[in-house]
Amino acid sequence: MRVLLSTIGTRGEVQPLVALATRLRELGQDVRLCAPPDFREWAERLGISFVPLGPELRSTAKPDSAMTKAMASPEGRRAMAEAMVVNQFETMPEAAEGCDVVVGGMALNIAAHSVAEWKGIPYFFTAYCPITLPSLHHRPPAFPGWAPKNPDAANPVLWADDAERWNEQWGGVLDARRKVLGLPPVDDVRGHVFTEEPWLAADSVLAPWRGPSALDVHQTGAWILPDHRPLSPELEAFLDAGEPPVYFGFGSIRAPEEIAKAMIGAARAHGRRVIVFRGWTGLSLIDDEPDCLAIGEVNQQALFPRVAAVVQHGGAGTTTAATRAGVPQVLVPRMFDQPYFAQRVRDLGIGTSITGEPSAESLTLALSEVLRPEVAERARQVGGEVRVDGADVAARSLMAAV
């Protein structure tokens, strides 16, 4: 069986599919990954066949990038959305050549289902967070520029409004490209992308699916990529030189202004050392004191169990990694699914979150909440409940279905 895995987005959207690809290859299946070119070297280093999709995204973490500026206006967002869909239809038909099934990750992977339909092969959609799928239990997540018509409306009304916005945003360009392939128009773009039986690649403890919903959701568990890379000698020496430090990182997203100064000041207020993950924003230290270390790409599975707390943006992948490591968390959510994970961390008693722009004062207060023995104990307890077999469940389900 040859599987095409396709996604757009940053590392949080790509890594779960890399985890699934790795497990499928271990089970003897042929896999091709279609994703932004930022991840080509990584995928090919793991032996995964790679097809670049769309432009490089690393620059989006910079406030002065052309893509960031274009996203600031409704016209710019619409032009980017249409160009994105056109690029998907130009790239994916060739990528799907010889494939037996298409798995689409990330909601904005608009073309994947249509390409599978054109090829006459099955298609599966997967979400990484429960609130991205329609349910009466929760509201739709917020997209940039997508304010609800009536924010106080009931959830069914908000989801109906959300479906209208999907049609307004992508219906025209989707139907135009489908016509080129000889396919009929789509009445419900969101339903077309999600299907009636989507998969949910999220841990059932951290992010449980809750209905009622018209969808038949298959929750597989989080797709976790096993990481056996050693920590660098510099990082090992830093960890061994004192008490567990506080980790700060915002992954692939743009970090708030002046965040490094606030982070380091908050940790020092508690007498804690600091590890700063540079990320795509390129965070840096504020001085040369030996209590701080800036790092690049790192094995979170090896690092997180050795820190006192993880302060991060609330992406699905980082939150799952920190929860699995059994370490307290402070979330600084910015958009989309991040507020949901901030709420879940609070509900589970394994950390807290900060609303709005973080400051040294708010971070200091948040750390005082999570650097308590009872929070650390609760985090260890919940961490022991996180399952790590989601990618295997999904791989075997896919093999059985195709």
- How far is the C-alpha of 267 from the C-alpha of 275, rounded, in Å? 10
Asked whether the beta carbons of 353 and 345 are under 8 A apart, the reply is yes
The pLDDT assigned to 250 comes to 84
pTM: 0.92
Q: What is the SS3 assignment for 374?
A: helix
The pLDDT assigned to 33 comes to 97
The pLDDT assigned to 81 comes to 81
296-324: b (≥16 Cβ within 10 Å) or e? eebebbbbbebbbbbbbbbbbbbbbbbbb
* Residue 198, CA distances (Å) to 190, 195, 205, 219 in order: 12, 6, 19, 9
Write down all domains in the chain, each with its CATH number in brackets.
Answer: 2-222+388-401 (3.40.50.2000), 233-383 (3.40.50.2000)
For residue 123, what are its two tokens? 């298609």
What is the mean pLDDT, run by run of 10 residues, along the chain of 402 residues? Answer: 92 93 97 94 95 78 56 70 90 96 90 97 96 92 78 91 92 95 96 97 96 92 96 97 94 70 92 90 84 94 97 93 97 90 97 91 96 97 96 97 91
Sheet (strand 101-105) strand order: 49-52, 30-35, 2-6, 101-105, 123-127, 199-200, 218-219
For residue 81, what are its two tokens? 């959305």
Segment (H or E) for 126? strand 123-127
The pLDDT assigned to 37 comes to 94
For residue 92, what are its two tokens? 């994916």
The pLDDT assigned to 367 comes to 97
212-242: b (≥16 Cβ within 10 Å) or e? ebebebbbbbbbbbeeeeebeeebeebbeee
